[in-house]
Amino acid sequence: MLSRYEQALEALNRRARLRSLEGRAGIDFTSNDYLGFAESGALKIALQEALARGVPVGAGGSRLLRGNHPEHETLESEASAFFGAQSALYFGAGFAANAALISTLPQRGDLVVYDELVHASTHEGLGLTKAQTDSFAHNEIMQLEDKLRTFRASNTQARCFIAIESLYSMDGDLAPLSDIAALATRYEAILLVDEAHATGVQGPQGRGLAAELEGAPNLISLHTCGKALGVSGALILMPELLRRFMINRCRSFIYATAPSPLMAAGVRAALKLCAAADDRRAALQARIKQFDSLLQKLDLSVTGTQIQPIILGADRRALDMAQALVQEGFDIRAIRPPTVAEGTARLRITLSASLAPAHVDALGAALAHHLEERMA
């Protein structure tokens, strides 16, 4: 009865694509805890204080039933003010929020045009939407405009959505956000910006790369709380009208148990920490510049962000190098298809404000050794 599953796993193993759960060990060059908030003493104290004032751990039901807690509403109000948006809606996870957004707002007859490298959570929503969907080559503005122009030529009333990430999770590069925003205005499109890896790190006070666009009637941004903010969940920032629509039509909001009120209190505290974390952002930028310099000496391309992919091509090569680095005390993972395109298996190295300069130098030396060894 279960033999097909066993065969599928064996096939993955033969192709060096079998995944397994592994523990946390070694110097962290793999997590998304970019500011080092996840183990912050300040967040622990904030949660202890929330428990002391009676904030419950569980919500007990959907927010449309008894699950709506004052902590949820206060968080959404504070997040709206912090990011500069009309309103916010809190979800339990970034993946769920992104899929909910794409599957709910675009309607039959609408179009969603998306960058080919958007996150799997966006693709999840694309698979559920009744709207038309079409992709454009990564960061190719001219191709995006061609698709918008073609659609608008025969669809003057339908809505059009553009889905992008501001900082791409596997390649570490940035979207040409101002150019895309200009196209969204020109073609009367709604711009959906996934700020997951920019939140906390980019923009004034860590408000993201779309911070200067916030408040525009055609902008929706998503800020995950489990990466640089160090907690969990996600906030969708949008016009109030669209928030009301989501509350009434989004199935994964209506029928899901509400996120933990205690975690909502944690996110509130994390946003306050984020606003005052210029020192941590400066420390992170210093580690980024340091690592960029080391990679350039190895003739490797750099992103200038906290996400640095090292493309190795073959799945087995990426897996073997990651395992070798783990044995030397670094927590680094291999990223293989289908997460990335065929032939682009890589090490995805992430940097954090918590890293010491010596940690970065040590990794640079280890990379130089292993790359030279495998090229010999």
Catalytic sites, residue numbers: 32, 119, 165, 169, 194, 197, 227
d(CA 235, CA 157) in angstroms, rounded, equals: 29
CA 120, 234, 179, 349 dihedral sign is: negative
Q: What CA dihedral angle connects 270, 276, 282 and 287, to 10 degrees?
A: -20
Pair of tokens at residue 351 = 């940097």
Alpha helices in the chain (DSSP H): 3-14, 41-52, 70-83, 94-104, 120-128, 141-154, 177-186, 240-249, 251-254, 261-275, 278-297, 315-327, 357-375
- CA distances to 232, 362, 366 from 283, rounded to whole Å, are 23, 18, 22
Q: Classify 221 in phi/psi space as left (phi over 0), alpha (psi -120 to 50) or beta.
A: beta
Is 184 in contact with 218 (CB distance < 8 Å)? yes
Round to whole Å and give the CA distance between 99 and 122: 5
Beta bridge partners of 308: 349
Q: Which two tokens stand for residue 31?
A: 């997590």
Asked if the peptide bond before residue 337 counts as cis, ω within 30 degrees of 0, the response is: no
Token pair for residue 187?
């073609």
Tokens of residue 328, six digits: 């030397």
